[in-house]
Amino acid sequence: MAKPSTRLNVAPVPPDEIFALNGAYGADTHPQKVSLGVGVFRTDDGKPWPLPVVQKAEKELVADDDLFRHEYTTIEGDVPFLRLARDLMFGFEGKDSEEEAKARIASVQTVAGTGANHLGALFLGHHMKPPTVWLSNPSWANHMTIWELADVPRKTYPYYHAATRSFDFDGMMSTLETEAQEGDVVLLHACAHNPTGLDPNKEQWVAIADLCERKNLFPFFDSAYQGFASGSVAEDAWAVRYFFTRKPDMEMCVAQSFSKNFGLYGQRVGAYHYVTNRSSTSLRDVVVNNLCHLIRGEFSMGPRSGCSIVKKVLTNDQLTAEWHQDLQVMSSRIKSMRKALYDELSRLQTPGTWEHIVEQNGMFSYTGLTPKQVYALKDQYHIYLLKSGRASISGLSQKNVAYVAHAIDNVVRNVN
């Protein structure tokens, strides 16, 4: 008889809430069930929507019949793809000193945005050894896990003002001003903050950039929704581009995902960009070299098929134009569902204020519902959202929005 292991020092960890919730939704047989948990785009019929331009690109790739399509790339990834990803994020069109600007950016391919966040945390943890990483409160739950695994001490700055259901800009600035130390990392959501849907305005972004520069903090942007949030890739990258162009003596980095804006959730397409200051461009190749060292020890190189789709689209003017149209379709549907939910709650005269639903941005809404109310929605109405009250607006449709609003109205009135 085999002896039980005495070498492992392990204990159960809580299951990931989003994937556990999605599993519970899948097992539910109720005909009116609604999934407002997982962050994926859905049509008004509740079905996946492979982007039409992605389907075109896939057909063209099949027709190309590239004999090397299943071969290895390089450790840093598909280099032409990385150039396209970099230019999409930082925007160089027609600007003076374009080559000098590009020389500041070290780019490698990653396993989607999660992999970019992880690689960035690991790289900074090894080579910069920040005293602390500052995460917004609340933030994407996986941020905490990623930085914990990188063994970097974690603190949070205020972000959400519960009483007004608004962005707590004053709380954020005050905390970072008084408590953040030189060399700390500050994680910033480039747009469509997850989970609140609340973003700084441009004036506030300018103030955040000034604070990071003055206190010598290191900005780490997580860009998961470029083009998906507003429908404009330039607008959704405004903060990143401002930091890059207006603070050339400040180093920073960006974790870039193509999951949402290309609908390539399972293809795991991403990039990590480390930006040197303008006087240290000679470090770029050394940074890439060290990032490749970490990549080689983890996954050798990024997946090929998804980045080939992105590359096919972004190297063809017609396909690029069609992609921008697809972005408008997705962002417009999200906005229309926000308004539909708000209008229905207003019609029902649901207690409380609900303007935040239409004032927030992107896929998610921080509804303001309490954990008890969230559990009641699941148990009584088979509506699934995170216990924090975060709802994925994409799960709403013209067919279920009235049902969801009625359920919210009921639990707000009856569940404290």
Catalytic residues: 140, 222, 260
Q: How many CA atoms lie within 13 A of 210 on its CB side?
A: 7
| DSSP label at residue 352 | S
DSSP 3-state assignment of 277?
Answer: coil
Q: How far apart are CA 14 and CA 20, in angstroms?
A: 10
- Going by the DSSP 8-state scheme, the letter that residue 131 receives in this structure is S
Contact call for residues 270 and 115 (beta carbons, < 8 A):
yes
116, 271 Cβ separation under 8 angstroms:
yes
Which residues does 305 contact at the CB level (< 8 Å), separation at least 6?
69, 267
What is the sign of the dihedral through the CA atoms of 372, 376, 379 and 381?
Answer: negative
Q: What is the DSSP letter of 167?
A: E
Residue 206 CB: number of other CB atoms within 10 A? 15
Burial level of 58, CB count in 10 A (0-12/13-18/19+)? middle
Q: Which residues pair with 33 in a beta bridge?
A: none
Best CA proximity match to 34, nearest among 403, 375, 406, 414: 403
